[in-house]
Amino acid sequence: MENEEVNEEHKPIIQWNKQKGGFRASMFIFVLSALDNMGFVANMVSIVLYFYMVMHFDLASSANTLTNFMGSTFLLSLVGGFISDTYLNRLTTCLIFGSLEVLALVLLTIQAALPKLHPDACGKSSCVKGGIEVMFYASLYMLALGNGGVKGSMTAFGADQFDEKDPNDAKALPTFFNWLVLSSTLGSVIGVTGVVWVSTQIDWHWGFFIITLASTLGYVSLVLGKPYYRIKSPGESPILRITQVIVVAFKNRNLTLPESNEELYEISAEDATVEKVAHTNQMRFLDKATILQENFEPKPWKVCTVTQVEEVKILTRMLPILASTIIMNTCLAQLQTFSVQQGSIMNLKLGSFTVPAPSIPVIPLIFLCILIPIYEFFFVPLARKITHHPSGITQLQRVGVGLVLSSISMAIAGVIEVKRRDQSRKDSSHPISLFWLSFQYAIFGIADMFTLVGLLEFFYREAPSNMKSLSTSFTYLSLSLGYFLSTVFVDVINSVTKRMTPSKQGWLHGSDLNQSNLNLFFWFLAILSCLNFFNFLYWASWYKYKSEDNNARPSLKAIAETKTTLKSVDEKAKKDESIKDIMRGKAKESSQTSEANSEGPSSSDETDEGKEKEGNYR
């Protein structure tokens, strides 16, 4: 009976492949990630040239328009995350925002295809106006809303296909995030090579058309996978729950906390509608929201549960980690704006083939395609043996490695810019090869592998159960703030250095990179990144993982113990079955002996009986 109970308890682990979810369901999400990211990254690295050459923005305005667009895209991921947590399930949210994205790409394609929808060059910072301006910005920011909404819900939807409480799924979840980034990277490689080449060498509208078609096929793939998905229903508004804690804690600010944490208000596990979170001693002032006063009934705006307060604590602990990654994403913005503009005036020849300057980011992408499988198949198993952590190293350790590498990348970018500018001033007819840029791109690509995957897994794992999408969107919020900060840095650095330099010209003035001091800007970001890393170290050491309190994340030891339990149960069952077989054999033999005895004693029996009697007489 006991064996049957244990087997029933572990039945979901044994029969996992027969259920919904898992990597079978994730395959459709990987396809969407690859096809959608193919267009997104192609736009990210090349559309700055579309703004500059077709829509006639100047150098700084082109860079700022791109960074504002990218920042808006990532910021709007919070909208998708909030809606999928509160009102619609994550699949429906993906499809609705995906439809907006496709519609925006259609408008962008039409404007690029029709010359009458292009502005005339005017020599100003921006030449778009009237109906052209309305169509341009409407399509651009509809694209930002659609793409952002998808990003805010798709990642959490993919992670939902794995049950964190299942030891095998807990081990598979980091692998899912690695493969998700790998699939988007593979799509990006096609985008920055094939799509960018079509856009820059043939015509922009053909590039946009390919992107539109790819995104459409991606969402068709997502729909086809519906029979295999685990679809979680939305819950109570996370913003409402956070607001309740803040309001009640403020009302109770003059009350004294009880000596024992057991006296704090919490509902039983049977009555809980969300996953319970264990109490922590950080930010004790919020615990006042859990004081249930005498003669008060437990109502939402009168008292909050310990779990509800801990959810707010988790989000509060996440914020410094989020803030510590913004500078890195500001560095990323430079590689997609100024580095592309650097490449456009370098030697683009690779033998007889001319490489489009926006295709330069394929270098870190190729590194990622090679490094992610190496990381997954070699580094993680080795690290697991040492750390006994399902991911090999913790999520914050991954982020820390990425922050260090991003600082190194910016320092190298400054050195390469000095070499490029000096050669261009010496002999502009023989510029250095654009592949000098591969050093800064390659190092930053490795940094991105560590940081992006680390943040996605960190925000998903640590988030309360009813805030998974919103919390995962914090990764994109960091990207958004990084892009917006890039715009601010460009304007502020230009303004400040214009006053300080003897030439009265800013580091990034005008349209000629050879007359600017881009290298100083890169070194400024390198120093800032280095200081930011020490800031991150402080907050990472202060952060308390949710699993340290409620053991939500099973360790490899727990996984091994589960497997050992299952194995011992199977062995015990087999042993019991063998004993039963032996007993059946003995019973059968005994019955045969009884039958023989009923017919009469044998000669040997008589002899034995005689000996026994003889012994007794003696």
Annotate 353-385 with DSSP letters as a single string.
EEPPGGGTTHHHHHHHHHHHHHIIIIIHHHHHH
pLDDT in tens, 148-201: 999 888 988 988 888 877 778 777 888 888 899 899 989 988 988 888 888 888
Residue 243 CB neighbours (<10 A)? 13
**What is the arithmetic mean of pLDDT over 334-344?**
74
Whether residue 182 contacts residue 369, with contact meaning beta carbons closer than 8 Å, is answered with yes
The DSSP call for residue 163 is -
Task: Kindly indicate the confidence band of residue 586, based on its pLDDT and cuts at 50, 70 and 90.
Answer: low
DSSP symbol at 347: B
Q: What is the CA radius of gyration of the chain?
A: 32
Q: Which helix (H) or strand (E) holds 105?
A: helix 90-113
pTM of the predicted model as reported, rounded to 2 decimal places: 0.73
pLDDT value of position 146? 92
Q: Check residue 145 and give its pLDDT.
A: 92
Q: Is 69 a residue whose pLDDT tops 70?
A: yes
pLDDT greater than 80 at residue 546: no
96-105, 209-218, 224-233, range with the lowest pLDDT: 224-233
**CA distance to 86, 191, 193, 337, 339, per residue, from 199 (Å):** 39, 10, 10, 17, 19
Q: What is the mean pLDDT of residues 425-448?
A: 82
- pLDDT classification of 354: cutoffs 50, 70, 90: confident
Q: Give the pLDDT score at 531.
A: 93
How far is the C-alpha of 392 from the C-alpha of 326, rounded, in Å? 25
Cα(288)–Cα(42) distance, integer angstroms: 51
Other CB atoms within a 10 A radius of the CB of residue 319 amount to 11
What pLDDT is recorded for position 411? Answer: 92
Question: Do residues 540 and 321 make contact, with C-beta atoms less than 8 angstroms apart?
Answer: yes
Average pLDDT for the chain: 78
DSSP letter string, 446-497: HHHHHHHHHHHHHHHHHS-GGGHHHHHHHHHHHHHHHHHHHHHHHHHHHHHH
